Amino acid sequence: MLTRLSLKTKITALVVAIVGLASGFLGQFVVSTLSNLLNDAAGRGTATAAAAIAVSIDPSVLSSDQAVPSLGKIQAQFQEMVDQGSLAGVSIMRVDHQANRVVYIASAGKDYVSENYAPGTSFGLDDPRSTLLHWKQKAGRAVWDFDKAPDRVFIAGWAPIMQGSEQVGLALLFADVTPINNALNTLAIAVIATCVILVLLSGFIAYKLATGFEKTAVTDGLMGIYNHKYFKQRLEEETAKSRRYKQQTALVLLDIDFFKRVNDTYGHATGDIVLKNLAKWVTEGMRNTDVVARYGGEEIAIILPHTSLAGAQEFAERLRIKISHQVVRDPEEKAEFRVTVSVGVAQWEPGMTSMDMIKRADTALYHSKHMGRNRVTIYQDEILPPPESQTAAKD
C-alpha cells in the first residue's frame, strides 16, 4: 500500500512524523523542566520555613501530653502567617516512638488543609500518607492534592523538631501553588498549540518542497515537460486502465523535421531554443489528463486518455499546422525561421501492451518521414515497420 503513495506524500509524511515527534519530546521536556524548577523552588521555600519554625518551638512542649494548651500562642502566630498569605496551613505534630506514629498537636490554616490533621488524628509510620512525614532528619517537600479542595494544589514542606539527638516532633507547612500549576497548564496548552502549528507548517513546507522535488525528478531539464521515464510509467498506467475499463487511449509521437540541419546551421544553442519552443507550443491548450513528455532527442510523446483514433488524428493535425506557422527567433544568432514536424498516431487495442503502442506510433511516425515529412500518419496494419537500413530517414 505504501508503494502506491506518491513521492511527495511519502516525503511529507516523513517530515511531519519527525517534526511531530521532535516537537512533542521538546515540548514535554520544556514543560516538565519548568514544572520541576518551579515546584522545587516552592518546596525549598516551604522546607526552609518549616526548618525555621521547628527551631523556634520548644521541644519540651511536645514531650508532654499537655502540649495542645501550651501551643495555643504558637498556633495563633501560625494563623497570623496564614492570614498574611505567606502560608496556606501549618501543623505541629508529635512523634510517638512507643506507638510508632505521628500524632497531631495543633494547626492553623484553611479548613481543607487542617482537616487532614483534625484533633485525634494520627498516622502510623507505615501509612503511605506519612511516608514523607516521619523520621526526617533533613527538610523535605512533596506536592499534595487534597480531596477537600480538588482544584487546589499545595506544596508540603517539613522539618524535624529535635530534642538533643532525638526527633520529638514535626513541623509541617503548606504553600498554595495552584497559581503556579495553572500557569504550567496554560504553558502546556501553549506548547501543544505551538507543536501543532509547527507540525502543520512543516507539513505545508515539506509538501511544497516535495512537490518541487517530485516535479524535478520527472521533468526534462531542457524542455520543461515530463521525461522519458515518467512517460513510460504513465503509458503503462493508461494502458492498464484501458484493459480494465475498456476506455480509449491514443498515443501521438512527433519529431522535428531536419533538426540536425538546425544544429549544423545555427548551433546547438539555437537548437535548444527550438526544443523549448516546441514544448511550449505543444503544451498550450492541453487537457489536464493529457501527458506531454520528451521521448528522446527532438521527439515528443503525447498520451491522450479517453480519446478515439479519429479524435487523436484531428488533434495531431491541428498541432502540426500550428507548429508550422510558428516562427523561431534567436536574437544572438540573428536567426529567424520555421520548423515542421512529422507525426505518428496509434490507438490502444485489446491485447496490446504499452510497448506495442509505442512501436505502432513510431512506425506511423517513420511513415510520415518516409512520405515527405510535415504530415500526420495513423497507424494501420498495412503500414510495415521500416527496414533497419532506412531508419536514417527520421533525421
Domains within the chain, CATH numbers bracketed: 55-177 (3.30.450.40), 221-394 (3.30.70.270)
* pLDDT value of residue 184: 81
Strand pairing of 376-378 and 341-347? parallel
* pLDDT value of residue 149: 63
Strand pairing of 299-305 and 291-296? antiparallel
Mind listing the pLDDT tens digit for each residue in 293-302?
999 889 999 9
* pLDDT value of residue 43: 74
* pLDDT value of residue 138: 40
If 0-12 CB within 10 Å is exposed, 13-18 middle and 19+ buried, where does residue 327 land? exposed
* pLDDT value of residue 199: 84
Question: Residues near 286 by Cβ (< 8 Å), separated by ≥ 6?
Answer: 292, 302
Q: What is the mean pLDDT of the chain?
A: 79
User: What's the rounded Cα separation, in Å, for the pair 349 and 357?
Assistant: 9
* pLDDT value of residue 103: 74
User: What cell does 133 get?
Assistant: 512525614
* pLDDT value of residue 129: 44
Instruction: Map grid coordinates 480538588 to a residue.
Output: 150
* pLDDT value of residue 382: 59
* pLDDT value of residue 164: 84
* pLDDT value of residue 147: 58
* pLDDT value of residue 390: 43
The sign of the CA dihedral 140, 141, 142, 146 is positive
CA dihedral 19→23→26→29, nearest 10 degrees, is: -140
Q: Which parts of the chain sit beneath pLDDT 70?
A: 1-7, 63-75, 77-78, 81, 85-86, 111-150, 214, 381-395
Instruction: Map grid coordinates 509547527 to a residue.
Output: 198
* pLDDT value of residue 34: 81
- Taken as a whole, the chain contains a residue count of 395
User: What cell does 101 get?
Assistant: 506514629
